[in-house]
Structure 1
Amino acid sequence: MKVNSFWVQRSPWGHSFTIICSTESQYPGGSFHLFREANIAKSQSAVDLSASFSFPEADFSHEGKYSCVYEVILSSRSFRSPASELLVITITVHLQQPSIPRIAPDGQFDVGPQGSAIPWGHSFTIICSTESQYPGGSFHLFREANIAKSQSAVDLSASFSFPEVEFSHEGKYSCVYEVILSSRSFRSPASELLVITITVHLQQPSIPRVAPDGQFDVGPQGSVITRGHSFTIICSTESQYPGGSFHLFREANITKSQPAVDLSASFFFPDADYSHEGNYSCVYEVILSSRIFRSPASELLVITITASLLPIIGAAVSAVLLLLSVLIIILLVKRRQKQRNKETNLKCSFKKRGSANTYAGGSQDNKYEDDDEADYENVGT
C-alpha cells in the first residue's frame, strides 16, 4: 500500500488550506489519520480511498511537519500503512510595500526630481497607505534609519502632520506598515523614499526714486539731489518672514543697516554731499532657526549730487552791492572836491577885489567889504 499527500507547503496567515490524503489500497473502507509531528491532528473516514483535512483559518499553530497514515480494520484487527512522506507547512505573512505621496494636503509641496521643497514655517502632511490584506495594523514613518512618528492605521492609511516646518525636518522619509498576528509582529518592506527639503524664499525688495523732502530730481540717469539738502531712501518688501532687517548697499559695500518696521526701513541722509553719490540697493535679511537668509538685491537707485545755486547768487548780489557802494563813494568824493574848488576860486576873487578897494579910501573900502562878505555868505549857502 502506498500513501500520498498533496499540498502546497506555504499558506498565508488567516487563509484556509486543505491537506488531502489518498491511497491505492486494495482494502477500502478504512480511514486516514493526519499526523502533525508525532501526534494525530485529525482523523477522517476514507471516501473513495481519500480524505480531505480542512483548516478554515491558517494560524501559526498549524505550522509543522505533517504525514498521513491509512488504517483499515480486518476481522477486528487494525492495520496501519507506513506514514507518507512529510509535508512541511509554513504559515506566511506577506505585507505589501506601502505608498508615500509627494503632495501635501496644504499644497505647500514643490515636487521636483530631487524631492519635495517646503517653505520654512509652513505645515505639511505625509500620508502613508497600503493595500495589505491584514488590516488593524499601524504605520511607522522613518526619517533616515530612525522612526520619526508612529500612528495606527485607519482604513489602511495614516496621516503624519508637521504643523510648523523647521530645518530639522529635512531628510529622507519612508513608511513601514506593521501588523501583529498571533502575538507575532510583521513589518512590510519600506516604501520609496520621500526627500523633504526646507526652503526660504525672500522676495526682491523695492527701492523708491522719490525722497520725502522732495529734493529728488528724477531723470533717466537716476535721482539728482542738491548738495546740502537732506534725502531719504526707503526700502520695503512683501516677505512672508517678518522681523528681519534691511541693509543699504552703496556699490558692493553696506553703508547702513536698520531693523525692519512693518517690512520697511528708512535711511536718512541729513546733509547731501558728493561722497553720497553712487549706486544704491537694498537687501532684506532674516534669521530663521539660527540661520541667516538674504533676499536678492533690489534694483539700483543711482544718486547724483549737484551744487547749490544759492551761494553763487549770494556772491553775485554781494559783488553788485559792493560795486554800487564804491560808485556812490566815488561820486560823493568828486562832488565834495568840486565844491571845495569852487570855494577856493571864490576866496581868490574876494582877495583881488579887496586890494583894489584899498586905494579908493577907507569908507568906501568898508562898504565893499560888507558887500563882499554878503556875497560870500550867499555863495556858501
Structure 2
Amino acid sequence: MQSPTLTRISPDSVVSPGEVLQFRCTTPSPTCISVDFTLYKTGISIKKQTAESTTTFTLTVDASHQGQYTCDYSYRESNSTSSRSNSINITVVNLQQPNISFSAADGWSQFGPDGAEVIRGYGFSIVCSIEPQYPGGSFHLEFSGSNITKTQSAVNHSATFLFSEADFVNQGNYNCSYEVNVSSRTFTSTTTEPLTITVKVNLQQPNISFSAADGWSQFGPDGAEVIRGYGFSIVCSIEPQYPGGSFHLEFSGSNITKTQSAVNHSATFLFSEADFVNQGNYNCSYEVNVSSRTFTSTTTEPLTITVKVSLDPFIGFGLTAGLLLILLPVIIWVVKTQKRQKFQVDRKDTQCECAENTSESLQEENKTHAKPYCEIAETIFHQKEIGQ
C-alpha cells in the first residue's frame, strides 16, 4: 500500500500552548470505503479517525505536542496498513513565567506585609528575569498606576529597570512579562505575580528636652525633678526634613494629647505651675503632610518628670536655729554685763549712803558705832560679787 500524504493546515509550524494545530492525512488515491487513519508523534500513535480518502486531525497545543508528526491508513477488510507518510516538525514555544524582584539604593527598603517598602527620595530597581530557553528577547514592566509599559532588552536572560528617585507616583503594583521572537513569530510569556511597592516618608525620631523656670529643677536618677508651684517647659524638636508639621506631646497620666505647630522644627509646651498631676512620663511624636499624605514619626523615649515639695520653710527654720545658737553666748554675755554694771552702781550708792551715815554718826555719836556698819556693808557686796 502506498504511503499517504500528511499536510499541515495550521499556518505555522512554531506554535504556543493553547493554539490549535491541524493536520490532514490523505490516501494516494480516492476510495469509496472507510479507511482508518492514525496520527503519530515521534513514532507514537496519538490519535485515530475513520474517513473516506482523507481526514483532518485537530489538536489543542500544549508543551507535549512538540515533535515530529506522521500518519498512515489501513483497510479494515484486508487488515493491512500502509507505510508512514512524510513527516512534519512542530515546535512548541512554551515560555516560562518570569521572575520579578526588587532592591533599593543604600539599603533603604524593606518588605512589609503588603510588599516592598522604599523611602521617598531614594532610588530603587526592579529586576525581571527568566530561566534560559531562547536567546535574546525583551522584558516588559507593567505598572498598575500607569498605561505606560517600560521595555528593555534581555541581557543574560534578565533586565533591570531603574528608578532614580522614589516618589508617590511610583507606588503601586508591578509585573513583568517576557517576549521572544522564534521562527519569525513573537511569543509572550504569562505575567509575573504582582510586586507591590509602597513609598514611605522616613521621619526621624524627634528629641525631647526639659527646663524649669528660675532654675528650680534638677535631674535625678529617675529623670527630671521640678519644685511644686514653679513653671516648667517641655521642648519637642526634630532634625530638618520637611517644612511645617506639628508635634504631639503625650502624657502617661492622661488621655489628653497636646498638639502644637512646629516652628523652626520645634515646639515648646509650657506648664505655668507644676503640681503632682503633672508627674509622670512624657513623649513626643512628629506629624507632617507630604503630597496629601500624612506621616507620623516614632515617639521619643519617655521623659520622666517628678514634682517635689519646696525645702524653703525647712531651710529658713534651720537658718534661724543656727543663728540663735551663734547669738546665745553673746546674749548671755550682754545680760551678765548689764547685771554687773547694775551691781557696781548699787555698791557705789551703798558706799555713799554708808559715808553719809558715818558722817552723821560722827556728829551725833561716837565714830566706833559707824565703822562696823560700813565694814558689814562692804562684806555683803564682796560676797555678792564673788557669787556673780
CA contact (8 A) 1:151 1:158 kept: no
Determine the structure 2 residue equivalent to 1:115: 115
- Rate the CA distance shift 1:223–1:196 in 2: closer, same or farther, 3 A: closer
Q: How many pairs align?
A: 283
Q: Deviations over 1:142-175 (max 9, x none)?
A: 234x235523323354322223323332212223
- Secondary structure at the counterpart of residue 314 of structure 1: helix
- Residue 298, structure 1, aligned to residue 297, structure 2: no
Note if contact 2:128-2:176 (Cα within 8 Å) is conserved in structure 1: yes
Equivalent AA in structure 2 for residue 159 of structure 1:
T
State the 1:274 CA deviation.
5.5
| Residue in 2 that maps onto 1:67 | none
Q: Which residue of 2 aligns with 1:161?
A: 162
Tell me if structure 2 keeps the 8 A contact 1:139–1:175: yes
> The residue matched to 1:164 in structure 2 has which SS?
coil
In the TM superposition, residue 127 of structure 1 has moved relative to its aligned partner by: 1.6
| Structure 2 residue 28 is matched with structure 1 residue 24 | yes
Task: Please say if residues 276 and 305 of structure 1, whose CA atoms lie closer than 8 Å, have aligned partners that are also in contact.
Answer: no
Segments of structure 1 that go 5 or more residues without pairing to the other structure are 27-91, 365-374, 376-381
> How far apart are the structure 1 equivalents of 2:290 and 2:204?
19
Q: Do the aligned partners of 2:251 and 2:282 also contact (CA within 8 Å) in 1?
A: yes
Distance 1:332 1:254, change over 3 A: farther
Please, what TM-score do these two structures have when normalized by structure 1? 0.51
Q: Give the counterpart letter for 1:292 in structure 2.
A: F
Q: What percent identity do the matched residue pairs reach? A: 24
Residue 294 of structure 1 aligns to which amino acid in structure 2? S
Q: Match of 2:199?
A: 198
1:275-311 Cα offsets, whole Å, 9 max, x none, are 6962234435364735332213414535353544644
* 1-structure distance, mates of 2:259, 2:362: 98
RMSD of aligned residue pairs (Cα, Å): 5.8
Q: What letter is aligned with 1:139?
A: H
> Map of 1:1-381 to 2, 5 A cutoff?
6-11=7-12, 24-25=28-29, 96=95, 99-104=98-103, 106=105, 108-111=108-111, 114-129=114-129, 135=136, 137=138, 139-144=140-145, 146-148=146-148, 150-155=150-155, 157-177=158-178, 189-199=190-200, 215-218=218-221, 222-223=222-223, 225=225, 227=227, 250-251=251-252, 252=254, 253=257, 278-285=279-286, 287=288, 289=290, 291-299=294-302, 301-305=304-308, 307-308=310-311, 310-321=315-326, 323=328, 326-359=331-364
Distance in 2 (CA, whole Å) between partners of 1:235 and 1:139 is 48
Compared with structure 1, are the counterparts of its residues 168 and 317 closer, same or farther at alpha carbon in structure 2 (3 Å cutoff)? farther
Write out per-residue CA displacement over residues 121-143 of structure 1, whole angstroms, 9 at most, x where no aligned residue. Answer: 43321122457869555524323
Give the 3 Å change call, closer, same or farther, for CA 240–282 of structure 1 in structure 2. same
Q: What secondary structure is seen at the aligned counterpart in 1 of 2:12? A: strand
8 Å Cα contact 1:217-1:225 kept in structure 2: yes
